[in-house]
Chains A and B, each alone.
Chain A
């Protein structure tokens, strides 16, 4: 883009680079903001349907699709209150921290093969780390509001999120372990041979761990039945009791941003990312059947394959968000001690057991290797490229050599 600006408008490279960066930032931010807009509308529509209502019907013509925008305008027009008892600086900053944390994580989330703002090598880890920062805004909000209900909400959130990061991390490690990389693009590309190459169907343990991941993800982004930080029947509105107007909507957008983010992460880790159930854009479908092989080509076909992939990815992640919405409007809320029990007594041991099982499958110990799909579909196995980053290739006497480049190793080779 910089080249384009310089060659077309004759700008100086510095100005062009700043302009390009600005445009890309705005694009990313708006993709997420518009996403939140759509998801809020979707939540209202789905909630309405679940409850025998219609949901929004009027704003913007059919289906009330502009309802969220109208709400946004209303929120902007509302008075921006700061309670007299609040720590004004932190109170005002807190929403931005939540918001920024949620949106920063999008930087490393690939939408299609190579369509990622920053190709972070440790993408999984980066997203988890940045997502964990979101709770910081919540805690500051709760503390700075000067309200007891807010403080209750904040402390609950802190306890919950810090606890649920443990099983969440354990769950995420399993696909990372199977693929041998933390690079999200590489992980998704390894699932490009159709539905059976998706990691959720890799072996029984990955199947189990996906559900644990989804539960923990819901807990870590504060969705019902784990929305204790804002439990309206107990804590009025929890940590955002004292917020109004636009500041409140930042928390809201952060929540929806995180929802999509964890769903997207689930899609990449377990559901093949941007690869469809029949990945016709890749070169082979289920190992042996030749596909179109368009994905990854540096031409217009590759771009089209990218678009299809992005649509695929967004659709799958949206299904994840829909399930979260569905659960929210169906189940009662858990109590704080039950939430913690669930995490420490069920999620952590289950995740650990599944992790162990997945290790056994991967290492083919105790004959558990036969639980893996790879063992039964040899074509798939040979097609699944293993990305070993910096793997120890040989041990010669005392010297260990490390191949510092990424090596692509055929599974059976």
Chain B
């Protein structure tokens, strides 16, 4: 197969990865809240593209639906909270920059260290044409794992799933709390 002569997966993987990083930087550098949300959506969309390339179509679609949908709500919140003064820009002070940069840099270093310590990733990778791709597209293992059943030896994801759900609930309540206002009760009510 001639198509296999070109390592398309790698090219596109690089492309999407770079897009995701670039838009993530965009989120950092822009000061307009709606544009931030916009770049965030693009970054997450590029990440979904990575999943599709990796053959995890279900996870990719999930990424689109949940993260992008969630960011949508974020965007609406942004619009709602800034409706008074349009195109409000958030200025970041230098000391905040330093704090965030050191925190983020530390996390990045940690991630890099972990990434390079995976032995499989350090092997010389074979040519893509020689890899026999296992059927990884199925959604059933994911569903089973989320409900606590792992087919291989690992443990299920029921507990992390629960934690994440509760976390999301907390975030929702928090958002509601932040957006609330005090108002004198009127006589009609």
> Is B87 at the interface (CB under 8 A from chain A)?
yes
Which residues of chain B are within 8 angstroms of A85 by Cβ–Cβ distance? 86
Known: A122-B57, A125-B61, A136-B72. A90 touches B35 (CB 8 A): yes
Q: How near does chain B come to A157, taking the closest CB pair, in angstroms?
A: 10
Cβ-defined contact, A121 with B141, below 8 A: no
State whether the Cβ of B8 lies closer than 8 Å to any Cβ in chain A.
yes
B98 within 8 A of A: no
Bound complex: CA A139 to CA B149 (Å): 40
- Indicate which residue in A3, A125, A139, A165 contacts B2 across the interface (CB closer than 8 Å): A3
In the bound complex, what is the Cα–Cα distance between A324 and B83 (angstroms)?
35
A135 to B64, CA, bound (A): 13
A3 and B3 CA atoms in complex are apart in Å by 8
- List of A residues within 8 angstroms of B80 by Cβ: 155
Q: Which residues in window 358-393 of A have CB below 8 A to B?
A: 389-392
Measured as residues with beta carbon below 8 angstroms from the partner, the interface class of chain B is: 35 or more
Judge whether B5 and A182 touch: CB under 8 Å. Answer: no
Does the CB pair A129–B73 fall under 8 Å? no
A391 to B143, CA, bound (A): 11
A120 and B57 within 8 A (CB): yes
A158 to B76, CA, bound (A): 8
Contact in complex: A402, B2 (CB < 8 Å):
no
Tell me the smallest distance from the CB of A243 to a CB of chain B, in Å.
18
Contacting B at CB under 8 A, from A197-243, are: none
Per-residue B-contact encoding for A1-32, CB less than 8 Å = 1, 0 else: 01100100000011011000000000000000
Partner of B58, one of A89, A122, A405: A122
Whole-angstrom distance between the alpha carbons of A332 and B73 in the complex?
29
Residue of A nearest to B143 (CB): A390
Q: Are B57 and A87 in contact (CB under 8 A)?
A: no
**B65 within 8 A of partner (CB):** yes
Out of B32, B35, B139, which one reaches A122, CB within 8 Å? B139
Q: Which of B5, B61, B75, B135 is packed against the most chain A CB atoms within 10 Å?
A: B61
Give CA–CA (A135, B5) in the complex, Å: 39
Q: How many Å lie between the Cα of A135 and that of B32 in the bound state?
A: 20
Interface presence of B131 (CB below 8 A): no
Determine the chain A residues whose CB is within 8 A of the CB of B61 once the complex forms: 120, 122, 125-126, 128-130
B38 interfacial by beta-carbon distance below 8 Å: yes
A139:B151 contact, CB within 8 angstroms:
no
Instruction: Identify the closest chain A residue to B136 (Cβ).
Output: A404
Interface mask (B2-31 → A, CB under 8 Å = 1, otherwise 0) = 110110100000000000000000000000
Within the complex, the shortest CB–CB distance from A269 to chain B, in Å, comes to: 16
* SS class, residues of chain B in contact with chain A: helix
Q: Determine the residue in chain B with the shortest Cβ distance to A124.
A: B61
Q: Does B50 contact A (CB under 8 A)?
A: no
Which single residue of chain B is at the shortest CB-CB distance from A87?
B87
Q: Are B32 and A402 in contact (CB under 8 A)?
A: no
Residues of B within 8 Å of A158, CB to CB, are: 72, 76
The contact of B34 among A90, A125, A405, by CB within 8 Å, is A90
Provided the pairs A3-B2, A125-B61, A400-B149 are in contact, do residues A143 and B34 lie with their beta carbons within 8 angstroms? yes
Interface residues of B in 73-92 (CB under 8 A from A): 73, 75-76, 79-80, 83, 86-87
Q: Report the minimum CB–CB distance from B128 to chain A (whole Å).
A: 14
Inter-chain CA distance A129–B41, complex, in Å, is 13
A161 to B61, CA, bound (A): 18
At the interface, yes or no: B140 with Cβ under 8 Å from chain A? yes
**Complex-state Cα separation, A402 to B135, whole angstroms:** 12
B176 within 8 A of A: no
Q: Which residue of B lies closest to A128 (CB)?
A: B65
Q: How far is the CA of A101 from the CA of B135 in the complex (A)?
A: 28
Interface string of A86-98 (1 = CB under 8 A from B): 0101100100000
Q: Is A2 touching B151 in the complex (CB atoms < 8 A)?
A: no
CA A400 to CA B65, docked complex, whole Å? 31
A128 to B35, CA, bound (A): 25
Quote the shortest CB–CB distance from A23 to chain B (angstroms).
14
Task: Say how far A120's CB is from chain B's closest CB, in angstroms.
Answer: 5
Asked if B58 and A125 sit within 8 Å, CB to CB, the answer is yes
What are 24 contact pairs spanning A and B, CB under 8 A?
Answer: A13-B6, A16-B2, A17-B2, A90-B34, A120-B57, A122-B139, A126-B61, A129-B64, A130-B61, A130-B64, A132-B64, A136-B41, A136-B68, A139-B72, A139-B75, A139-B79, A143-B79, A144-B34, A155-B80, A162-B69, A182-B58, A390-B139, A401-B151, A404-B134
The 6 closest A-B pairs by CB, nearest first: A390-B140, A129-B65, A129-B64, A390-B138, A121-B137, A129-B61
Binding site for A on B (CB under 8 A): 2-3, 5-6, 8, 32, 34-35, 38, 41, 45, 57-58, 60-62, 64-65, 68-69, 72-73, 75-76, 79-80, 83, 86-87, 134-135, 137-141, 144, 149, 151
Other 16 A-B pairs with CB < 8 A, given A89-B35, A130-B61? A3-B2, A6-B2, A13-B2, A13-B6, A121-B138, A121-B139, A125-B65, A129-B68, A132-B68, A136-B68, A139-B75, A146-B86, A151-B83, A162-B72, A389-B139, A404-B134
Q: Which residues of A contact B (CB under 8 A)?
A: 2-3, 6, 13-14, 16-17, 85, 87, 89-90, 93, 120-122, 125-126, 128-130, 132-133, 135-136, 139-140, 143-144, 146, 151, 154-155, 158, 162, 165, 182, 389-392, 400-402, 404-405
